Chains A and B, each alone.
Chain A
Amino acid sequence: MTDLTDLGVAAIRDGVRAGTFSAREVAEGFIANVSKAKALNAFLVETPEHALAAADAADAARAAGETLKPLAGVPIGMKDLFCTKGVPATAASLILEGFTPPYESTVSANLWAAGAGMLGKLNMDQFAMGSSNETSAFGNVISPWRRSDGGNAPLAPGGSSGGSSAAIAARLCPAATGTDTGGSIRQPAAFTGISGIKPTYGRCSRWGTIAFASSLDQAGAMARDVRDCAIMLEAMAGFDPKDATSLDLAVPQWYAGLSGDLKGKRVGIPKEYRVDAMPPEIEALWQQGIDWLKDAGAEIVEVSLPHTKYALPAYYIIAPAEASSNLARYDGVRYGLRDLPEGAGLQDMYAATRAAGFGDEVKRRIMIGTYVLSAGFYDAYFTQASKVRTLIARDFEQAWAKCDLLLTPTAPSAAFALGEKSADPIAMYLNDVFTVPSSLAGLPAMSVPGGLDGMGLPLGLQIIGKPLDEQGVLNAGLALEERAGFTARAEAWW
């Protein structure tokens, strides 16, 4: 009999509907995998009771002859940025230690309403700030992947949604939520050989999701393949009156609309993404991707996104600026950590609490953000970055005159070893060079696995679409997936 934990979202859903197996069996299988995989440190909180309750509800609904919900019987992982009622949420930071939200985020509520269950809260970079999952206050997530050189160096699962990517790649869950501010879904997906989609800004409500940078944060789906991403995203997305930036649009039937036939589609190749020092394997994969899309019927066109090189510096002004303000609420008064040194006054308590509660990378970004907003610097930094952001968005708009989608690599390298880049913040930031521009423009984008590098590590290809064209992105992702035939998986060592 198949190991149920090898199944993806669609297969589990269909199997439960058909009665091939019970939802409870599926949940129990994943729960067992989670409890065996402590070495990966992917979960911060395990919630087997939640997954089992949802499974039992699915089984009961089937027994009663009811129509099953879209995700009935599917247990998932929840990035710890999403508040779920009654379950501790920390965003992987000490400053939220002990915080148990008395509310449910809109995205998680949507998933429960669709019948999904929760296996647990997933580890991540602290407040989603990081590209390797090394900024979590509760330890690194270890990628299930290892290099084929036999060195067994622990590798980064990518970040910030590194718990999500590792858990899916290691078959601890068939799908998970992620959030993407500058690449936090796509880069970890690429590093671990899974798929991940960030929808158009405003598709998923941000209500109840712990904020990093409000104008960029967007929840999305991570799973082993494009179909599963489509099913997940359909359940997560939707208009929410509680989020003033939520798009008041019906959620399209992305899963039903999937088609790998790209006839009539023009795919742009942005020349500015051919950066210096790009590993030849990534160059080669990119070319391979171009050929696959041609094969799927697409016309390939060269396009230019002239302000690409300014995206990262603009991002590292805007995101920290917003974060410095968004994270001001962590002050030890209403929830989370309070550090009150003997005889300290209110302002001393704030400073002590925040010094003890925030990790180094979070502090670094809060300080950058505070600096660029401070008196005398605002126009030179924040205003200039906001104008450059306009130019970056305009670059994409102009590209859409020539093409419908863009194809790029997801990241400039395969997964690196833990510790390899953590001493050099800029080197770490550069990992998001291909994902940040589309985040700044709020565009839908996804990463799908394309192949392995010489060390046997996964590499991802990124599809970027027009605003609201998640369908186009998913379809191109499917076309790539069908041709890549990516079946490699990390061998269990944990």
Chain B
Amino acid sequence: MDTQVNGNTKVDIKGLAEKWKGKRGNLIMILHEIQNHYGYVPREVSLQLSEVLDVPLARIYEVITFYNFFKLEPPGKHTISVCMGTACYLKGGAKLLDEIKNMFAVEEGQTTKDGLFHLQVVRCLGCCGLAPVMMIDGKIFGKVKPDELMNILSPYVKGEV
């Protein structure tokens, strides 16, 4: 197997397994570490994990596909998370989402063709006081109006961020 998956250095599966060895129920924690590293859980890594842990691949996939947090596809360069918690929904979160969908011709859960943005909907970012909220790569933007989106996103499009 290559030393690289999608341009990232490979995660040391054996080391990981060793670290969590003997701790029951470790699969989810190991998957978290893998996803932290790659941004998603690549199939070849799951295969390898299945061998090292001696767990059927189906069982690993069963867990990955159950939880929203785990991804099977590589993420975009930037992730746009639009909050659809109740407060954000009431204050116009859906409008933001529609606007972004239109701007980049992308649906939620998808990555733009150029791989620049991954658009996702999140339940609650825990800052309802700032509703509607969106987050780009961990940076929170509060009280966003649809006509402000262009200004917010253009530095990312231009590659300034």
A binds B: no
Q: Please report B residues at the A interface, Cβ cutoff 8 Å.
A: none
